[in-house]
Amino acid sequence: MKKPLDEKELTTQAKTLFDDSVERLDAATLSRLNQGRQKALQETRDPGSAGEWARWVPAGGLAAAAVVAVVVWQGVPVEQSAPAAGTATDFEIMLSEDSLDMLEDLEFYSWIDTAGTEPSGDVG
Amino acid sequence: MNACAGIFAVSCSGEQPKEARTLQRERQLNQFLAGVERRALRFAEIAVRDRDEALDLVQDAMIKLARNYSGRPEEEWTPLFYRILQNGIRDWHRRQMVRNRVMVWFGRSSAPEDDYDPVAQAPDPMGRTPDEQIESTEAMQTLERAVAELPARQREAFMLRTFEGLDVAGTATAMGCSEGSVKTHYSRAVHTLREVLGEHWQ
């Protein structure tokens, strides 16, 4: 197994590689850096001119995140809780006094149901 | 009342007009930023692994330095600039973490590409052979990967001390921590990198 580099060797080699990669930056990148620098210098002449809109980016991001959170928060529980809500409603209906009365008249309602499905001629 | 009286006495006596001072300051700032921008870009690029994002971070740092600190003594600009840049990089990582969580929640992965290679296509200004370029590029990629995998504070300490050549005090200012913390983070980073890179570089 190879022994670890000593600190001096490591930092010297790392710095050389880093400097080398800095020297190899392409013209398009250097141009963009120059543009960024000019915007920054504009700040010394006219404070607030560069990136004025950018101050609103965090607020915009927060607003967008809030919208997403609301959509997610409202969207997911609706699908999951709908059956539960329906079940609770069924229980309420079943346990109400009217429903118990209905159970007592079950034979009557059964007769109405049967009569309703039979041909009208037989009834009259 | 004399305009040059009181607290303004020093600044008004025998001084250049405001416009000339602003121009001189602008020249100094331009010189400073031109000297630091390339290294700052590579610094940010190693930290975020994306050139476009790194360019935005460097531009933001330059604008904030000009807006808020251009009046400070010139010798303070380097640690201040890197402090602003570091803060931008940390914010970027926080945003990425949130974004990744959201993407995972929606069942999508936003993991960075493993084949990231920022300098492979760039022409070599030193006139080296393609083999030498490949060797250097591969060594840099190995270094970048190893540095990128360090804990954030260790990475900051190592990059500021080694790549930017800041002393312990300047690094502490840039990182917003004590000099003792800088020494600890740097020492741990070097220890890890010696072991990781020793396998590749010897």
Q: Which amino acid is at A112?
A: I
CATH class given for the domain over B125-202: mainly alpha
Exposure string (b/e) for A81-94, b if CB count within 10 Å is 16 or more? eeeeeeeeeeeeee
Does pLDDT of B146 surpass 70? yes
Q: Which of B144, B91, B153 is nearest to B120 (CA)?
A: B144
Is the distance from CB of B155 to CB of B47 less than 8 angstroms? yes
Cβ burial of B43 (10 Å; 0-12, 13-18, 19+) is buried
Q: Show the DSSP H helices in chain B as ranges.
A: 9-12, 18-48, 51-64, 77-105, 130-148, 152-158, 168-175, 179-201
Tell me if B197 and A5 make a contact (CB, 8 A cut-off): yes
Over residues B11-53, the pLDDT tens digits come to 445 566 777 888 888 899 999 999 999 999 999 999 999 999 9
Over residues A67-105, the pLDDT tens digits come to 777 776 766 554 444 444 444 445 554 555 555 555 566
Does pLDDT of B172 surpass 90? yes
Q: Which of A32, B57, A31, B17 is nearest to B25 (CA)?
A: B17
Is the distance from CB of B45 to CB of B155 less than 8 angstroms? no
Closest chain B residue by Cα to residue A30:
B38
Mean pLDDT estimate for chain B: 83
ipTM of model over 0.85: no
> In terms of C-beta distances under 8 Å and separation of at least 24 residues, what long-range contacts does B178-184 make, across chains too?
B181/B153, B182/B157
Closest chain A residue by Cα to residue B25:
A44
Tell me if B37 and A17 make a contact (CB, 8 A cut-off): no
For an interface test with B, the pick among A1, A2, A3, A5 (most B C-beta atoms closer than 10 Å) comes out as A5
DSSP structural state of residue B112: P
Q: Is pTM, for the whole model, over 0.95?
A: no
**The CA-based dihedral angle spanning residues A85, A88, A94, A98, taken in that order and rounded to the nearest 10 degrees:** -70
Tell me if A14 and B162 make a contact (CB, 8 A cut-off): yes
Chain A residues interacting with chain B (CB cutoff of 8 angstroms): 2-7, 10-11, 13-15, 17-18, 20-26, 29-30, 32-33, 35-37, 39-41, 43-45, 47-48, 50-51, 54, 68
Over residues B67-110, the pLDDT tens digits come to 999 889 999 999 999 999 999 999 999 998 888 888 777 766 55
Domain residue spans of chain A: 7-49, 59-117
Is the distance from CB of B86 to CB of B185 less than 8 angstroms? no
What distance in Å separates the CA atoms of residue A91 and residue A100, rounded to the nearest whole number?
12
Domain residue spans of chain B: 20-116, 125-202
What distance in Å separates the CA atoms of residue B39 and residue A29, rounded to the nearest whole number?
12
Does pLDDT of A15 surpass 70? yes
3-state secondary structure of B131: helix
**Sequence-distant (≥ 6) Cβ neighbours of residue B183 within 8 angstroms:** B168
What share of chain A in percent tops pLDDT 70?
Answer: 48
Q: Which of B43, B71, B75, B76 is nearest to B57 (CA)?
A: B43
Mean pLDDT score, B54-62: 96
**Sequence-distant (≥ 6) Cβ neighbours of residue B159 within 8 angstroms:** B43, B46, B47, B147
Exposure string (b/e) for B174-193, b if CB count within 10 Å is 16 or more? bbebeeeebeebbebbbebb
